[in-house]
Structure 1
Amino acid sequence: MVNRKTPHPESDLHACATYFLMEFRGHNREAWGRPMGMIKQVPRWVAPSEGLFKINTDVALRVVDNVSSIGVVIRDWKGRVRLSFCLQVSANLDPQIMEALAILRGIRLALSMGLVPACVESDALTALDAIRSQVRLLLMYG
């Protein structure tokens, strides 16, 4: 279920997110010998303007296992999940390259599924700035 290379239907999203969270916590316990602390403040998702879709992306890197993962969620202006996608890669790429690949994958999925017009939200400021300034970070990676 989790490592599929196709978009997850909305009904699978909760199960997918729960699985990833439990796996993350398990790896954290192994790496640090203690449970992960609670997040004090969770940022709230802010809806885009009516008629827009929002593409949220993120990446996870497990250097010890030589694994990188990307995640994409596309929601409409009402907050409804319209598409989710995750991909695991057997490689440790530069985090900024992975963030840029996640953004690119999100844009391609939105275009292919007709979820446009769309805006992108990511915590990868460097990747977003590079895309905005039309630097060709992705020439080597597609």
Structure 2
Amino acid sequence: MPFCVANCYGSCSKKSEIDTRCSWCLVRNEDATQVLFDCSFARMVWTNVGLQEVDSGGYEGSINDIFRQLVSVCTPDKLALIALICWNLWNRRNRWVWDKVSTSEFGVQSTEVNMLQEWRHSQLEKQKHHATSSKSPRRWQKPDEGWVKINIDAAVFIEFGCTGVGSVIRDWNGGFIRARNQNIEAVYQPREAEAIALKETLSWVKEFGYRKCVFVTDAKALADACKTVQGRTYFHSIVSGCIDLFKHYDEVLVEFVHRSANAVAHSLARAAHSMSGVHEWVVTAPEFISDVLIIDSI
């Protein structure tokens, strides 16, 4: 061992001793099993959530052995609950050790319950998305007679510090009417960008007097939110603004489609980052979307 390292090691070992006891109960040496299962605090949490078999030491061995036993006997829902409790117990331990922030057993439980509810909600949303996606159009389709279809999309360019918005209007014969794109000098979260694209497009289209309009997006969260706005986030406030604009139309629909059925709007949004401000095309489409329009019409 080099002299400087040995000297440093020797001086450190003389001046400080590392306390290996549990940082909360100060009874046993701290390891993963102690933190998650054997500490008095952990036992209180397991008991309060109704998992007395964990609290009573019903599982033994190393931490890996315990998890193997749990996986072999617990239902998926119970395993999800156990995983979240373990995560919150470990997170609480770190907050106490490093920041001296103490969280009660109720705080650990409430955090775990909220996380479990969010996880279950996300699983349901995935199932709904899968069911809806299997039914959603994968190719552009003409609207019913008397209607116009407006495809919209947004693209976020973090490297350029901007967001592109694209919209295209076609009639019930599939004919091109108008297109528009806009470079917004701000970076948004993807679903916020999609909501802003819809709001900008609603404001644009209402000036032309179309009474029956289908607005098409490949953002399912946006299409769903337009049916029932529930939430207080920035995204939901934008959607509320979109719904306020519906009053300018006799009939308006917001539909979800696959990206492949929204290719023209996607191309317009992607092109916006190399432009400035707003660009609009009437009757004659720009060359960079001509091929995509032809493919949609086949």
Bin the TM-score by the shorter chain.
0.5 to 0.7
**What is the correspondence of 1:14-25 to structure 2 with a 5 Å cutoff?**
none
Question: CA separation in 2, counterparts of 1:139 and 1:77?
Answer: 27
Give the letter for the 1:65 counterpart. Answer: F
Q: TM-score, length-normalised on structure 2?
A: 0.31
Q: Secondary structure at the match of 1:64?
A: helix
Q: Secondary structure at the match of 1:45?
A: coil
Structure 1 runs not aligned, ≥5 long: 1-42
Q: TM-score, length-normalised on structure 1?
A: 0.63
Q: How much has 1:137 moved relative to structure 2?
A: 2.8
Give 1 or 2: higher helix fraction. 2
Identity of aligned residues (%): 27
2:212 aligns with: 117
Equivalent residue for 1:50, pick from 145, 162, 169: 145
Question: CA separation in 1, counterparts of 2:208 and 2:139?
Answer: 26
Q: How much has 1:102 moved relative to structure 2?
A: 1.0
2:198 aligns with: 103
Q: For the pair shown, which has the larger CA radius of gyration, 1 or 2?
A: 2
Question: CA separation in 2, counterparts of 1:49 and 1:102?
Answer: 24
1:90 aligns with: 185
Give 1 or 2: higher strand fraction. 1
Does structure 2 retain, via aligned residues, the 8 Å contact 1:130–1:137?
A: no
Whether 2:238 is the aligned partner of 1:138: answer: yes
1:61 aligns with: 156
Structure 2 runs not aligned, ≥5 long: 1-137, 231-235, 243-298
Q: CA RMSD in A?
A: 2.1
1:46-72 per-residue CA deviation (whole Å, 9 max, x = no partner) reads 000001000100111111111111001
- Select between 125-134 and 49-58 the one with higher mean Cα deviation: 125-134
In the comparison of the two structures, how many residue pairs are matched?
100
Query: Which gives a bigger RCO, structure 1 or 2 (Cα 8 Å, sep 6+)?
Result: 1
